[in-house]
Structure 1
Amino acid sequence: MAAAAVIVLVIVVALVVFVASLSVRLVQQYQRGVVFRFGRVLERIRQPGLQLIVPVADRMVRVSMQTTVIGVPAQGVITRDNVTLTVDAVVYYRVVDPVKVLVNVRDYPSAVLQVAQTALRSVIGKADLDTLLRDRDRINAELKAVIDAPTEKPWGLLIERVEVKDVSLPEGMKRSMSRQAEAERERRARVIAADGEFQASRRLADASRAMANTPGAYQLRLLQTVVDVAAEKNSTLVMPFPVELLRFFDRLAGGAGEQARPAGQTDRGPAEQAGRGPAEQATPVGPGLGPVTENVAAAAAEGDGRRPER
């Protein structure tokens, strides 16, 4: 009897351990448990830890709540301005409702991938090439909104982020864009150079007016230029002739001419010159002058208002 009792006890313990193994389920921290009892979903979502279920009647499915990353394969797309591109993207999503993920959609990772591919072609086809290359954030936001619409409420998924990874352009388009960028850089360089020349000309004009008002500044600038030229390794040095020296000689010659004029001789006006007779106008000028030379001398004297010296 004792042996039979021990055998029965062992069998009971084994059955208890077997039933306990069928009833206890472990849910990880990043998971949530959905229990199906005879095929129907229970409303209570099992949280992380050890969870008990009814053996045979219940079946628990664990759903990961972590963010999942899927890559969208490269898609051949035609933009709004008829440019053929190859675009790929990456989608970040996570589960927010485990029940909907299990009940409303089958193989939700594959479903999200298909929706992402169709949304990528739709959004890129509505945009032009410049917008795709320049305003990438707006394209990503539109992709997120298009993918999130059919997946959040019906499937219990949240699209956290969508990024366009690479945009492959045709070789002809790359060469055209390179030439366009080079022409734009050349245009900017010319505009900057023209602006610099305009500002330099204004500064030079201001400097010339300042030197015109101050003759000493012109002399200092002239000496500075001579020093700069002499600093170079030149065998020949060209010295500019001062303009003030020419003006000095001009004034000196004018003063000497005024002193050499006789005291009693004054300039005659046009009326006095008109009152002279032909005989006076034909008076010989200087010794040995012919008639033609005398007429030329008389005309020259009438032109500068002076009487030719006898």
Structure 2
Amino acid sequence: MPIGPAEIFGIFLLLIIVIIILSKSIKIVKEWERMIVLRLGKYVGIKGPGIVILVPFIDRGLIVDTRIHTIDVPKQEVITKDNVTVRIDAVVYYRVIDPEKAVMKMRDYNYAIAMLGQTTIRDVVGQLELDEILTKRDEINKRIQSIIDEVTEAWGVKVSMVTLKAVELPEGMIRAMAYQAEAERIRRARIIEAEAERSAAQILSEAALTYERHPIALRLRELQTYVDIAKEKNVIIITESISSRTAAEAIASALAIEKVKPSSGGSAKG
């Protein structure tokens, strides 16, 4: 029996309906996802990963991503304990560890965590002074993370890390801190210079005592200085040696003795 146009249209329509039903009933859940199955609005269970078959038009599947998510907490102004206004920018890292709680107990846990992070940062930073905020960032991050994680645990969400990206200071405070840092650098430089002068004075005092006890060492040092000057200036320096000076002194003494002898002999004859 030949198939007419009506039958062909009916078969085509049936194929379309079958395809629609299959697309509604067969779902593929990825490795990092979990599917919450609701049957006529009632929670049935968690499916996945892999192929999940749903009852068409009765079951509904909600996909939950279990990978780590990041939230850029909106930048906000916070007044510190010592009445300094700073702008805080932070990031929260979290992941869903219980898809059932995340879907059944919280409508939008992403937005809720962002708002919770904003208020927690304001509370924690408001209890600290500016110096503590600038020098104890790691401790502040851990403290904020612990507070947020304690609240989100009931939502099936684990907050793994909170990071303060930036702490912006007023322009006047930045200039004051720059002046303070410059003054501190000058103070340290002067202390180092004074310590160097004291050390040099002590060394020179010890050297003077040594030269006083050993005149030959002083003479050798003098000759070494002449050598250094000659090398630097490319000149020749002529100086008397110790032996020549000693010989000259001996000759002068002998001549003086010879002059004294005739005069003393003449006086004896008279």
TM range, smaller chain: 0.7 to 0.9
Which whole-Å CA distance do the structure 2 matches of 1:19 and 1:177 have between them? 69
Q: Over aligned residue pairs, what C-alpha RMSD do you find?
A: 3.3
- CA 12–83 in structure 1, closer or farther in 2 if over 3 Å, else same: closer
Tell me the equivalent position of 2:268. none
SS at match of 2:82: coil
TM superposition shift of 1:226: 4.2
Tell me the equivalent position of 2:178. 178
- Counterparts of 1:23-62 in structure 2, within 5 Å, are 23-43=25-45, 45-62=46-63
SS at match of 1:42: strand
Which whole-Å CA distance do the structure 2 matches of 1:170 and 1:15 have between them? 65
Structure 1: gaps of 5 or more residues: 263-310
- Counterparts of 1:106-117 in structure 2, within 5 Å, are 106-117=107-118
- Counterparts of 1:62-141 in structure 2, within 5 Å, are 62-141=63-142
Tell me the equivalent position of 1:142. 143
TM superposition shift of 1:133: 0.8
Letter in 1 for 2:221: R
Which whole-Å CA distance do the structure 1 matches of 2:55 and 2:229 have between them? 105
TM-score, L = length of structure 1: 0.69
- CA 228–63 in structure 1, closer or farther in 2 if over 3 Å, else same: same
TM superposition shift of 1:194: 1.6
Deviations along 1:5-60, one digit per CA (max 9) or x if unpaired, are x95994776665444333211212221101011222123x2112211112222111
Tell me the equivalent position of 1:151. 152
- Is 2:34 aligned against 1:22? no
Letter in 2 for 1:41: Y
Which whole-Å CA distance do the structure 2 matches of 1:74 and 1:57 have between them? 44
Which whole-Å CA distance do the structure 2 matches of 1:14 and 1:221 have between them? 109
TM superposition shift of 1:127: 1.1
- Is 2:208 aligned against 1:208? yes
Pair member with larger Rg: 1
Which whole-Å CA distance do the structure 2 matches of 1:166 and 1:219 have between them? 66
- CA 13–176 in structure 1, closer or farther in 2 if over 3 Å, else same: closer
Q: Percent same amino acid among aligned pairs?
A: 41
TM superposition shift of 1:113: 0.9
Which whole-Å CA distance do the structure 2 matches of 1:74 and 1:13 have between them? 54
SS at match of 2:47: coil
Tell me the equivalent position of 2:267. none
- CA 232–21 in structure 1, closer or farther in 2 if over 3 Å, else same: closer
Deviations along 1:229-256, one digit per CA (max 9) or x if unpaired, are 56666xxx9x9xx9x99xx9xxx8xx99
Please identify, of 158-167 and 9-18, the stretch whose mean Cα deviation from structure 2 is larger.
Answer: 9-18
Letter in 2 for 1:190: R
- CA 172–15 in structure 1, closer or farther in 2 if over 3 Å, else same: closer
Please identify, of 161-170 and 16-25, the stretch whose mean Cα deviation from structure 2 is larger.
Answer: 16-25
Deviations along 1:147-171, one digit per CA (max 9) or x if unpaired, are 212112x211111211111111111
TM-score, L = length of structure 2: 0.78
Which whole-Å CA distance do the structure 1 matches of 2:87 and 2:140 have between them? 15
Which protein is richer in strand relative to its size?
2
Which whole-Å CA distance do the structure 1 matches of 2:68 and 2:112 have between them? 16
